[in-house]
Amino acid sequence: MAFSWIDLAVVIAYLLAITAFGSHFRKSQHTLHDYFLGGRRLPWWAITLSIVCAETSILTIISTPGIAFRSNLGFLQLIFGYLLARVVVSFLLIPRYFAGELFTAYQLIEQRFGHGLRVFTAGLFLLTRALAEGVRVFAISIVIGIIFKTGVGASLVIIGALTLFYTLEGGLTAVIWTDVIQLTVYLAGTFVALFVAIHALPGGWGEVVRAAQAAGGKFTVFNFHFDWSQPYLFWTGLVGGMFLNTASHGTDQMIVQQLLAARSRRQSQGALLASGLVVLFQFSLFLVVGVVLYAFYQHFPPSVPFSRTDEIYPAFVVTRVPTGLAGLLIAAILAAGMANLSAAFNSLASSSVVDFYKPLAHPNADDRHYLRVSRLMTLGWGCVLMVIALAAQYLQRSVLELALTVASVPYGSMLGIFLLGVLTKRATSRGALVGALLALATLGFVMAFTHIAWTWYVAIGTVVTFVVGLLVSLATSPGRPAPKRSEEGLLN
């Protein structure tokens, strides 16, 4: 069954509608507070759904089914670590963020360690997020390429331009409210695809169970065996997932920005904790889709073998779903990609303006100037991500695992610095910087000369940063606490 003109019309209509919806929030953007924090007028439940969209991306929809297709449900062990991380961030870091009027996570670092370390952590964020999001943008092109049979470049322009347009216009308010719609669309679409696949199978769900058991237990979740080289084991997932998600949700501006947009500290904590339940549900859903598609392709093998498991789910939608529904499901997949991409554009711009441009170049300009620069920064980062996405097409790993690996390397240094600032008064800027640099070097060695799984990278980097940072601080400044800046000094 080919992707028809009716399906194409559905996809185009959705893309235009969501772009128009997001862009109409421009009229409420008057200050940086409006553009980057939504004026702190957004309800907690909308922030909950937007957090899920920001961390989900199109990778979850196209790569997670592929993971279950080739293995089992063991990826969920990582998600249990994500749930623990949300508790840590909610009660350890969010109260600190709401102690002052902050725009970015890295202003907190300046308050504790000074401007130099703020620039270092913000720079790590910009590099990490740009690389990881570039890979995610490439994932969008996989889907667009299957539909339109176009090259990667044309695919990126189609989605990138539309997402950039409404993000430029509406700021974080547009990001969050479009995310609410996008999440509803892609979850509903996934349920439709699941129903279509099961209904087409001789024997229905019973055949899925039989095929899963015959393949060696595809519904297996827990594996308590310990092996440093395996990413999806219980302790690896629980500990590694906790460190990874604590870093991503506690130090990465893309998520922290949404937490800062809540009306109060309690609403921010509630939004983050509630998002954990939604994330657990949706990862379970996408993994089950992978198992169902495994059973489906045992009965209906593809005419051409898949070159990568990331293609399995979008190819099923395009070739096996009835006309009309296929367009809806592809629109749902693209919804996740656009939701994540818009959050990335806005957070990269916010850190660029607040952490670099405003304090270093034009500290006393008016809000109209900063808004204009913010939109230019958003446009510039959009171009950077497109270039990275073009390079990502030559990599052969699962795009989900690749993006998580890219993010995991600097996350350890970032989380270690934040924990040094929050958990001890004896840490100094010099100690934290030395610890962070040594952690990056350590992870470079680990990646080059060991087989340790990527799920351990953040834990290793965090421990090295914290321990070395504290020891260097004590050795170089014994008995003298690090100076603490006032909130007034921070805001000025």
Which of 5-14, 29-38, 178-187, 435-444 is the most confident on average?
435-444
Higher pLDDT, 428 or 57: 428
- Considering the domain boundaries, does residue 471 fall inside one? no
Q: What is the mean pLDDT of residues 172-179?
A: 87
Integer Cα distance of 309 and 165 in angstroms? 31
pTM above the 0.95 mark?
A: no
Predicted confidence at residue 440, as pLDDT, reads: 92
Whether 204 has a pLDDT exceeding 80, the answer reads yes
Residue 262, helix vs strand vs coil: strand
- Considering the domain boundaries, does residue 445 fall inside one? no
Of 94-108, 149-163, 175-189, 338-352, least confident by mean pLDDT is 149-163
CB proximity list for 27: less than 8 A, separation 6 or greater: none
Predicted confidence at residue 304, as pLDDT, reads: 77
CA-closest candidate to residue 55, choices 127, 136, 125: 136
- Considering the domain boundaries, does residue 106 fall inside one? yes
Predicted confidence at residue 487, as pLDDT, reads: 40
Query: What sign for the dihedral angle of Cα 9, 308, 186, 207?
Result: positive
Integer Cα distance of 32 and 360 in angstroms? 17
Predicted confidence at residue 183, as pLDDT, reads: 86
Integer Cα distance of 355 and 126 in angstroms? 11
Beta bridge partners of 262: 42
Whether 283 contacts 52, CB under 8 Å: no
Integer Cα distance of 3 and 324 in angstroms? 9
Q: How confident is the model at residue 150 (pLDDT cuts 50, 70, 90)?
A: low
Integer Cα distance of 103 and 256 in angstroms? 9
Integer Cα distance of 436 and 465 in angstroms? 5
Predicted confidence at residue 71, as pLDDT, reads: 86
Whether 132 has a pLDDT exceeding 80, the answer reads no
Query: What sign for the dihedral angle of Cα 417, 419, 425, 426?
Result: negative
pLDDT digits (tens, 9 = 90+) for 293-304: 999 988 888 877
What single string gives the DSSP state of each residue in 335-384? HHHHHHHHHHHHHHHHHIIIIIIHHHT-TT--HHHHHHHHHHHHHHHHHH
Integer Cα distance of 81 and 85 in angstroms? 6
Whether 10 has a pLDDT exceeding 90, the answer reads no
Integer Cα distance of 247 and 17 in angstroms? 34
Whether 277 has a pLDDT exceeding 90, the answer reads yes
Share of the chain above pLDDT 70, in %: 89
Beta bridge partners of 42: 262
User: Which tokens go with 62?
Assistant: 């196209």
Integer Cα distance of 11 and 207 in angstroms? 32
Share of the chain above pLDDT 90, in %: 32
Whether 196 contacts 323, CB under 8 Å: no
Whether 392 contacts 134, CB under 8 Å: yes
Whether 472 has a pLDDT exceeding 90, the answer reads yes
CA 466 to each of CA 107, 415, 427, 444, 451: distance values in angstroms, whole numbers, following the listed order: 20, 9, 9, 18, 23
Whether 122 has a pLDDT exceeding 80, the answer reads yes
CA 127 to each of CA 133, 134, 244, 406, 426: distance values in angstroms, whole numbers, following the listed order: 10, 11, 17, 10, 29
- Considering the domain boundaries, does residue 424 fall inside one? no
Q: What is the mean pLDDT of residues 78-94?
A: 93
Domain count, the chain: 1
171: left (phi over 0), alpha (psi -120 to 50) or beta: left
Residue 42 gets which letter from DSSP? B
Whether 287 has a pLDDT exceeding 50, the answer reads yes
Whether 152 contacts 393, CB under 8 Å: yes
CA-closest candidate to residue 275, choices 251, 249, 244, 241: 249
Of 5-9, 247-251, 455-459, least confident by mean pLDDT is 5-9
Whether 155 has a pLDDT exceeding 70, the answer reads no
CA-closest candidate to residue 291, choices 401, 216, 183: 216
User: Which tokens go with 292?
Assistant: 């169902």
- Considering the domain boundaries, does residue 157 fall inside one? yes
Range of the domain at 33: 5-408
Report the 10 Å Cβ neighbour count for 399: 26
Predicted confidence at residue 478, as pLDDT, reads: 60
Residue 386, helix vs strand vs coil: helix
For residue 398, what is the domain's CATH number? 1.20.1730.10
- Considering the domain boundaries, does residue 41 fall inside one? yes
Q: How confident is the model at residue 490 (pLDDT cuts 50, 70, 90)?
A: very low
CA-closest candidate to residue 343, choices 486, 129, 146: 129
With b meaning 16 or more CB within 10 Å and e meaning fewer, what string describes 361-376? eeeeeeeeebbebbbe
Whether 86 contacts 275, CB under 8 Å: yes
- Considering the domain boundaries, does residue 481 fall inside one? no
CB proximity list for 70: less than 8 A, separation 6 or greater: 309
- Considering the domain boundaries, does residue 425 fall inside one? no
Integer Cα distance of 326 and 310 in angstroms? 18
Q: How confident is the model at residue 480 (pLDDT cuts 50, 70, 90)?
A: low
Whether 307 has a pLDDT exceeding 90, the answer reads no
Query: What sign for the dihedral angle of Cα 4, 6, 10, 16?
Result: positive
Q: Residue 393: is it exposed, middle or buried by C-beta count within 10 angstroms (0-12/13-18/19+)? A: middle
CB proximity list for 274: less than 8 A, separation 6 or greater: 44, 45, 48
Q: What is the mean pLDDT of residues 24-29?
A: 78
Predicted confidence at residue 486, as pLDDT, reads: 42
